[in-house]
Amino acid sequence: MTTPIIYWFRQDLRTRDLPGLIAAAATGRPLLACYILDDISPGDARPGEASRWWLHHSLQSLSAELSALGGRLLLRSGAAADVLDRLLRETGATEIFCSRVYQPWATHLEQSLHDKLSPRGVTFRRFAGSLLFDPDRVKNRSGAPFKVFTPFWRHCRSGQLPAAPRPQPANIQWYPASPDTEDLADWSLLPTQPNRASQWPQLWRPGAEGAHDRLRAFLAGPVSDYNDGRNHPARDATSRLSAHLHFGEISPRAVWQAACQHAHKQPASASQIDKFLSELGWREFSHHLLYHFPALCSEPFRGEFSRFPWLGNAVALRAWQQGRTGYPIVDAGMRELWSTGYMHNRVRMVAASFLTKHLLIHWRAGARWFHDTLVDADLANNTCGWQWVAGSGADASPYFRIFNPVIQGEKFDADGAYIRQWLPELAQLPNRFLNKPWQAPVEALLAAGVRLGENYPPPVVDHGAARESALAAYAQMRTD
């Protein structure tokens, strides 16, 4: 029997526009498709609770895709290097194909696998597929990585643009003697105590078909309001493709091509599409930064922030996590996150600013919470986003830019639809008090059924005093 090529699925859970799978199929050799749940690797490599829910359903979808092509998805758990070594011995395979993962732990794993397998005559081949532009090839005029988004994106768009996506390979030859597989249900990826995901199947559709349907729906409607609408959390104006992209259920090339074709067919949408593509660019930039500066996961990009006098207030952190800060736009966002596994990007910035600048809690604490609670938790995007808001990152928002949560709520949720959806205890308050219930007169609170300190908390900090404390901490850091 001909030995197989092992195709190792990672963050590329699809069969369309998957260069490694296409290359493996083109050899004419039988394929053995596998996915490895590596819960032994560093914490950054392990999905959080919400991501595990998505992963469960995404693997179900991928398994169905492969089955429709005549194949089978082999599931194994354990340290990836050990599992692959066992599969090589079980099958006699001498080739492993996979997609690259541009994260520090993955880069180390890939290099160690190459070093370990090459002397044994095993070919380990990695392919692009998760990004539009290879971080190895995107350099500034000095040959160094970019540190500012605008020149990075200008450089990317001025060169060779992404190639057209390719269809799934046809006539794949599958390895008939597939080894034993583990049962997905035994991996216990779904939350149980509590089962906060009970309503998620009505909100999300993990898998390649769900990803492509989401993209089509976005281009058919919401993209027409993207420039302005994406800042308003109550509007349906964003793509919500982030989890699909993280798990590789759709390729960024497929998203790029569909968006460009839409702009060509409907020229009036060109500016909306251009803004949407620039948001894809920020995803690229985050991966570019983390690839070239792997310490970003734990250390500030701007070294002086290592001296910042962060506070370790566990009570305040818990209030933030539970959506009990007393600032409605922040609390609405944190409750949306817990209920849906998602938070609107504008509100993510406001909530992150509140944690790092109003409460002076380290951005790593916020990043850890988002990693565990977001279905789209992505190491590069999450890390760079938090560092950007905290002021310590590359091309970051200045530290002294401190969001006023009252103004942010009044500006971007003017009619209060978003706050009322997620904070029903405030739903009867008039708009003028909705973002600052502590300023409402007693009669307005009574009429709305709001009892501050009972069914809704007073502010955990005063905005003005918190702003002064944050600026003082920043000044202290700069003089130390």
Catalytic residue IDs: 279, 282, 310, 345, 363, 386
The maximal CA–CA distance of the chain, rounded, in angstroms, is 82
DSSP 3-state of 122: coil
Tally Cβ neighbours within 10 Å of residue 158.
Answer: 8
Strands in 73-77's sheet, in edge-to-edge order, are 73-77, 31-37, 5-9, 95-99, 123-127
Three-state SS at 41 = coil
Closest to 14 (Cα-Cα) out of 55, 46, 58: 58
| Residues contacting residue 273 through CB under 8 Å, at least 6 positions apart | 223, 226, 259, 260, 262, 263
Neighbouring C-beta atoms of residue 114, cutoff 10 Å = 15
74: helix, coil or strand? strand
The DSSP result for 139-170, as a single string, is --TTSS---SHHHHHHHHHHSPPPPPP-PPPS
Identify whether the C-beta of residue 211 lies closer than 8 Å to the C-beta of residue 250: yes
Instruction: State phi, psi for 136 to the nearest 5 degrees.
Output: -65, -25
Residues 173 and 28: beta-carbon distance below 8 Å = yes
